[in-house]
Structure 1
Amino acid sequence: MAGAVLSRDAGSRSPVAAPHLSLAIVSAATALALIVFTVPLTTLGPTAEALALGPGAEAWLLSAMPLGAATGLLGSAALGDDHGRTLVFLWGLGVMAAASVIGALAPSGLVIIAARVGQGLGGAAVMACGLGLVGRLYPEGRARATATGVWAAGLGAGVATGPILAALATDLGGWPAAYWGTAILSLALLLAGRGLLPPAEARRPQPADRLGTILLMAGLAMLMSALTEMRFGLASPTVVGLLGGGAAALAAFVFVELRHPRPILDLSLFRGAAFCAATWAAFASGAGILALMTMVPTLLMRAMGASALSAAIIMTAWSATSIVTALGARWVPEALTPRRLMIGALLACALAQMLLFGVSAERAALLLPGLFLAGAANGILNAALGRQAVATVPPDRSAMGSGANNTARYLGSAIGITLGAILMAHGSETGGIAGLLDGWNAIVLITTGFSVLGALVVGIARNGTRPIATQERP
């Protein structure tokens, strides 16, 4: 295996032996970040009942972690590039552990939503710097394709095991048990990472882009709030104010990034078709297949009467399949470039999503063909995105490339999940199970549209195979 070869971590004087140990830690932490992401999928009911959460708060509970991740990924990537990926990666695990403890002790909906945002911020550091570490430890070519396939399998493993572990923990110790479990796992990986990960790169600290980070977080938070409040009407003053404020904050973010000496997002990267294609494909993945799969447990439990554990087990038709195909991506012929894989996988995701349209409350088994196809396509897509995220940026910006890619994915998922939660909750309130199923069909069509649009954009980027990493940074 490529991990048996000695590698040198840039900026460090000591060689890094057995990179496969670092890959194991990074992949396990990536899986944990996705476990944290999935905790509410099978604990939403007990949590909402215990903390008296309404439909709006439930939507926030589902989307708070991806929102925190989306707002923290670019800042974490910049910190990793400037202060050392290992250091920021370990800090991310610490933040995730602390936020999990706060979530377990939360006395109200506001506190647990804040804790979920904190978990997202910690997960952001893990995701951005973890994939950046993989990109530095493994050279371009087959070795990197294998390593990013293992990393992508970590994504699938987290999604596969998260709902099951959360359901089992809830049965044993109530809804806080899942949060205690993620806190313990975060601390265990933090201790293992301190001993096994390569030393932090010796770098000269650069001016921190604090204002850019704040503006990005504020802009995305206001836009997400506007989506949540839209259930009360598109023209309400609150929605209009939040949309305007969010747009203004994001415009200010672009203004700051264009002038900051060390921005959290180098906007010149968008001059490259490969970077644009990978970023949009990640957004389409989040707003498309990931958002829809997130809503499947709600469909199973509230419309089909499945238990939390049964819903989690049915979900493995998607998540476990994605692990297999992500690992198998290493054997994909070289002629199938990451661009072609992204197009094919997004179109396959769209087909899988349409197979889930029009399901009935009595036939849960009819979901399985769509779930299996979605898992197969999603595994290939994750592997291709992981490879492109670090291949389309200069070597010293690999964490930024990973951060931008995962920001797009989590932003897309936050938007898709919020829309799905609102549509299904509104349908349930107005029409019971029939209304919930109508809401489900609406979100199937919306998320399928994101997948198809993603494939079209990647297809248009015809020079998307040219690696930006070989170019000088402006």
Structure 2
Amino acid sequence: MSTSAGVTAPAAATSPPGASRSDARALFAVCAATLLVLMNYTAPVAVLPQTARSLGAGLTTQTWLINAITLGLAATLLVAGSLGDDFGRRRIFRTGLALLAVGTVGSAVAPNAATFVAARIVQGAASAAILAAGLGLLGHAFHTAQGRAHATARWASMLGAGIAVGPLASAALTSAAGWRWFYVILAALAVLLAAFGGRLLTESRAARVAHIDVPGVLTLGAGLALLLVAVTAGRTGWLRPAVLIPLVLGVLLLATFVAVQARGRAPMLDLALFRRPDFRIATLGAFFTGLAALGPSTVLPTLVQQLVGISALGTAGLAFVWAGASFVVSNQMRHLGTRTAPARQLALGFLLTAVGYLAMLGYADAHSWVRTIPGLLISGAGSGLLNAALARLAVTTVPTDRVAMGSGANNTARYVGSALGVAGAVTLASSLLPAGQASGFSAHGADAVLLIGSLVAVLGAATALIRRRAAAPVPAAG
């Protein structure tokens, strides 16, 4: 098989030397599904103005058009990973694909913004099942350090590929036939992959009695949902009851979740894992990746479109530059992953993200989208390093029978950070308005997004390097 880089699912099926045919099939199916998930995740970015006009969505609601899927992801990733380990990773993976088809059909026929947002939340829950169970399937299929580095780098490259292709496909279909057609086509692809791709996978689950941690599921899901609702609503003021009430309730529910996990016999999240430096680094690294890299970069194309004035296809092209660089770097880390300590790889990724953001300062005042290109390439390369390191850490810092839970925990931290990053970026970009401008985004706000994003990225790099003792080895299952 070819090992050349590409942005299609067949390229993702290339397996490390010595991998069995079943392992290669698993890698293909998981990478293809991950590509669909990320294409769907970023689909509204390039066509947000057109989608918002069609659905009658104001500025605050537009934040939800982007962030609703992140809410579904963050609230259910850990749950999906735990269910995959206990009830079968292949079963949860295929269920996620079927649910993704249902959610995308809902987006395609949505008559208003509320229905579209609800459908995107369903897509987020479906995506959580695919990501958590999919990475868990790879962790089970590939056992050697080289094999896992190769497989997780391929998986991570699909994150970049999906972000690159999704906005382009959405913008092209919007220009040709309307934004709804993207969701129609994606639903059909999800059905096909659920029907046929699932046959490429073998079932795997933990060797323990299946158990649903109902108190954990309810407190975590509701707590994260309320927290993200509060943060998104905070754009128009933090001292309003509509913000304070869900914020306080969300924090209380998350504290309850921690207490439930500490006392439970079969907890959804083993809190003892946080005693391991590598697991802490993985979790904090994922959170800062969402907050500093994924959140601001998700909003950036929309800011350029509205402040500089480029077409939907041009906006998608900018997203492609960033995500394409991420794809190439993640894909190449399959050769280099075992040679670089994950913490150092994370630190370098964060620093490149910060440098890329600083390189883009002033693009809105200069009214030049060209000025964003070097920064997009640099920060995209940083994102590629982050994705590859986090994917490897997600499956190597937990016991082998809990790899889907490890993936769920890691991606939960990532998408909670992303939701906070998106909400914060929109708030900053729309709060520093010049005199006489009542709403929208401003050049000063756009620069503030880049400055704060770079500072958070530097903080992420420092966090990755703070490691006072060696990581304890992870015990094998059984």
TM-score (norm 2): 0.92
Query: Residue 44 in 1 paired to residue 54 in 2?
Result: no
1:325 correspondence with 2:329: yes
| Identity fraction in percent | 38
Aligned twin of 1:431 = 437
Equivalences for 1:110-149 in 2 at 5 Å? 110-149=114-153
Matched to 1:211, the amino acid is: P
**Uncovered stretches (5+) of structure 2, i.e. residues with no partner:** 1-13
Which whole-Å CA distance do the structure 1 matches of 2:446 and 2:242 have between them? 26
From 461, 464, 467, the counterpart of 1:458: 464
Deviation at 1:140, TM superposition (A): 2.7
CA offset digits 1:295-316 (Å, max 9, x no partner)? 1221221011110111111222
Q: Per the alignment, in what secondary structure is the counterpart of residue 259 of structure 2?
A: helix
In the TM superposition, what is the alpha-carbon distance from 1:397 to its structure 2 partner?
0.9
Q: CA deviation at 1:416?
A: 0.5
Map of 2:100 onto structure 1: 96
The one-letter code of the counterpart of 1:71 is: A
Number of positions where the alignment pairs a residue of Structure 1 with one of Structure 2? 463
Q: AA paired with 1:172?
A: A
8 Å CA contact 1:70, 1:411 repeated in 2? yes
Q: Which residue in 2 is equivalent to 1:440? A: 446
The alpha-carbon distance between structure 1 residues 399 and 467, as it changes in their structure 2 partners (threshold 3 A), is: farther
Determine the C-alpha separation between the residues in 1 that align with 2:452 and 2:113.
Answer: 28
Letter in 1 for 2:298: T
Aligned to 1:299: 303
What's the offset of the Cα at 1:330? Answer: 2.4
Which of 397, 401, 404 lines up with 1:399 in the alignment? 404
Residue 38 of structure 1 and its aligned partner are, at CA, apart by 0.3
Measure the CA separation in 2 of the matches of 1:34 and 1:21.
20
Name the structure 2 match of 1:55: 59
Alignment of 1:403-418 (within 5 A): 403-418=408-423
CA contact (8 A) 2:293 2:453 kept: yes
What CA distance in whole angstroms lies between the structure 2 residues aligned with 1:185 and 1:461?
Answer: 44
Match among 140, 161, 181 for residue 185 of structure 2: 181
The 3-state SS of whatever aligns with 2:265 is coil
Please tell me whether the aligned partners of residues 275 and 468 of structure 1 are also in contact (alpha carbons under 8 angstroms): no
User: 2:211 is matched with which residue?
Assistant: 207
Tell me by how many angstroms 1:116 deviates.
0.7
Q: Deviations over 1:206-236 (max 9, x none)?
A: 2211221221122122222222222332222
TM-score by length of 1: 0.93
Q: Which of residues 73, 85, 92 in structure 1 aligns to 2:77?
A: 73
1:390 aligns with 2:404: no
- Measure the CA separation in 1 of the matches of 2:120 and 2:50: 16
1:93–1:187: 8 Å Cα contact kept in structure 2? Answer: yes
Aligned twin of 2:355: 351
- Change beyond 3 A, Cα 1:308–1:289: same
Matched, 1:371 2:383: no
3-state DSSP of counterpart to 2:245: helix
Name whichever of 454-463 and 404-413 sits farther off. 454-463
After superposition, the Cα gap between the structure-2 partners of 1:180 and 1:279, relative to the gap in structure 1 and judged at 3 Å, is: same
Deviations 1:124-177 (CA, angstroms, capped at 9, x unpaired): 011101111111111232121111111111111100100000111112221211
Whether 1:309 and 2:313 are equivalent positions in the alignment is yes
Question: What displacement does 1:367 show?
Answer: 0.5
CA distance in 1, matches of 2:348, 2:254: 32
Query: How far apart in 1 are the matches of 2:352 and 2:246?
Result: 35
Correspondence for 2:386 among 373, 377, 381:
381
More displaced stretch, 259-268 vs 30-39: 259-268
The answer as to 2:260 corresponding to 1:253 is: no
Q: Give 1:434 shift.
A: 9.6
Whole-Å Cα distance in 2 between the matches of residues 202 and 253 of structure 1?
23
**Pairwise CA distance, 1:337:** 1.2
The worse-fitting range, judged by mean Cα deviation, of 275-284 and 354-363 is 354-363
Amino acid at match of 2:322: W
Cα RMSD (Å): 2.1
Unaligned runs of 5+ in 1: 8-16
